[in-house]
Structure 1
Amino acid sequence: MRRQVLVLISLLSLGSVLGQVSYSIPEEMAKGSVVGNIARDLGLDVKRLKSGKARIFTGDSAEYIELSRDRGVLLVKERIDRESLCRQTTPCALHLQIILENPMELFRITVEITDINDNSPSFKNDEKRFEISESAIIGSKFVLERAVDADISVNGLKNYSLKPTDNFGLKIQSHADGNKKVEMVLNKPLDREKEEQISLLLTAVDGGEPQMSGTVKIYVTVLDVNDNAPVFIQSVYKAAIAENSQKGTTLTTVSATDADKGSNGDVSYSVSSTMDSVSDIFTINENGEVILVGEVDFEKAKYYQIDIEAKDSGGLSDSSKIIVDVIDINDNKPAISVLSKSDSIPENSPQNTVIVMFSVLDPDSSNNGQVNCRINGNIPFTITTSSNDFYSLVTDSDLDRERASEYNITLLCSDEGVPLLIIIIDIV
């Protein structure tokens, strides 16, 4: 007669990865659409999916994909919006695991979400107003608001146009990070006596099919005499801030100078509109001090780019940017998800028999996110891992029911941050 050893477990790790399959689907597919024939692609019989109680494990992420055991296929469970899921990150992918039992098996699935042209370029404001001196010299530049397009690659923002072109033209400068600096350039002298008000239309277009666009109206009031524009001392500033910094913290101080005297030389600062609503997190005061007014979280954004503008009373302006690095602190404990476990095993089970499969995730970076797991006590089990974040609790010596008919197992997992954060789980 085979006798069973009852295993009571406290847990914190994961097990063996047998295969990996990748699929690619466009965003916005209808619910119920087929992602792929997972049974065929993994070389599994549909009956195995049923007998093994196959299921999808997604960790803490939303369940966009579901498994049809009867058909052996993956289906779209919820509408997938690539922009909401990944924003500008590319490639954008869902990482899933399929778990089977009797015996336990783990398969890793990657589903890449490709972009479709479902967003048009847009401006934060409907209009932009300038007051420009009629003595402004040819070549004077005026910073315009950048458009944003949530789509990427060919579907993203492609170009700008400005009409009419009687007095002004466009200057577009590409940065190394892919963003474009958009400026309106004076190509023909202004004459207040002939035309005091000028209306223009700035249009941003993307490269998708069909092409989509967005516009902003520009109004220019012609003034008298302002010879010099502000000039930032630096074109790029750098700063760093810890993710737990209090509101009101000053990051850095910027400075722009204007050679004009009196009111024409008075410079005011502002945070230009950006895609990530940076103006809700940072502000700049009249002295050029950049101040934290919101919250920063390293796990959500590792850095920010703040576009700033210096403007004098005559309407002339210059722009610069601040690159802010967010410093990670150890503010997340390891999190454990049990994928599968056995409540009992035969006493004649061979070594390396899997008792529990689990995953451990810590969203912190570097040492703050490095997790180590161990078993508390001297018992015939050990922890193994075959891939990042996934572990198995296995036997490491012979079991003898007459010597010990059950075990209480406690697992401890800790990160390597300061202060060290620990999670303890009893597996029963």
Structure 2
Amino acid sequence: SKVSWFTVTVQPLSASAPRFQSEFRPLRGHCRESVGPSARDPTLCFQAVAEKRQPSSAPVINCLQAALHFSAPGPHRFPRRLPSLQSSKPSSQPAGPGQFRSGRSALVFFFFFKPRLVISGGPEHAPGSPLVERGRREGRRMVGWRVAVLCLWVSCGSAAGQLEYSVSEETERGVAVGNVAQDLRLSAAALSLRNFRFLSSHGEPYFEVDLASGSLVVREPADRERLCGDKAACVLTYELVLEDPLELHKMHVHVLDTNDNSPHFPAGDVQLHIPEFLMPGARFTLPNAQDADEGSNGVLSYSLSPSQHFRLDMGSRVDGSESPELVWEKALDREQRATHRLVLTARDGGLPARSEDAQVTVVVVDTNDNAPVFERSVYRTKVPETAPNGTVLFRVQASDPDEGSNGEIRYSLSNSTQAKLRHHFHVHPRNGEVRVAASLGPPEALLEAYIEARDEGAFGLASTAKLLVEVTDVNDHAPEVNLLTFSSPVSEDTAAGTVIALLSVRDEDLGPNDKVICSMSTGGPFKLKASFDNYYSLLTDGPLDREQVSEY
């Protein structure tokens, strides 16, 4: 068989013992260059290379001479006394393996050194020397050896090779990924002749080998995110089997990520409630976006729609990861604007880039920073003096821009109202109706009261409005005539224009209702003459003749 390369690693069982490692590349060619004709003997070649490559003070290997007669017939052809070697294995595990590997064969060595082992490579260790023969006899008994060697030989044609391919996810069906036959140094026809089998450990065969061309082609498009989730590397492993002779090869297909997924916000749209009394500089955590793609195809950046009150910044979490944060830059007034609508955009680093938006709604939470305000500062009305109890005088109205209990208003008579007037009015606490609660009494110029509006916040704020009620007169009284003086009888020779009576007229009503007009029924030589303030004089208005009329 042909040896391409192999590595021998020697590791002492004790940590204090020296470590020896030697690598041999193309063995036969190297021997020809290094030791000349001795390369015909693999044993001598191995010994010569080891001695030439190592300093004289370092340990060299010559105890493998018999084992390395892999191509020469004779009593030392390996594996000789393999059961004895296995049975003499120490109880501790091997400290380090060395692997001989090629495309079609593999030789694995496990060396077990005891701490003070020193093997020299001088002339006394040449093949056929007494020292070497003695070592061979002791090796048969496996008693007293300071070095235990376990070699496993896998016959030519059954060794494992490994093929590596890569393909982008979602590659269409039928696309060739590589050529298995060429990479195995076989013709396409050899695949069928040697009963090629393609074994998959996955539920779905995403790839297949075209026996006519030897090409590895896509059978079903592979979704990297579904196959491997968030793993950094997505590798599908397959086994390739050939017969006559038996060969087993592993094949790894690396499924490469493509930017086929957009970022998305698992939490969807976001609503934040921010008290308006907070100071600028406050920060509020926003949700992270997720992207099933890996690397630069994953979420790369965030941005926020323009806003006078907010900006976007990246903050650090406890685990060291970053998350977007909303930073409050300018004071908010809920009464001016109660809701702010922003757009948070997550963008990945793919080409072309993919993005997704999330709506961020900022609800400004109210504080009781506004007192109720009446629609008018003074309410004025007139009411007749005869208005019954329960008569609605008017309805006051106040508003509070705060919300919730901070904006709910209760109405009442203010303590500023005179005590003697408080029982005349009733104020409904919710709708602000002011009603007559008791007789308003005789008409007066004006009744003055005060209405208070107070919100129901934790520290209720209040304002007042003035209430002016004018009680109007009702014409419910008849005039009264009072005779002040009267001269009777009157002489018939009394001259015309003589005052014979003085009277006054009075009305209990007020205003225009107390104006009185006096008149006298016709008959007789008399007349009324107004004097002042509803006073009248009764005068004679012609000659009197007792004989004709003696009484009027």
With normalisation by structure 1, the TM-score equals: 0.47
Could you say which structure has the higher strand fraction? 1
Higher relative contact order (CA 8 A, sep 6+): 1
With normalisation by structure 2, the TM-score equals: 0.37
Could you say which structure has the higher helix fraction? 2
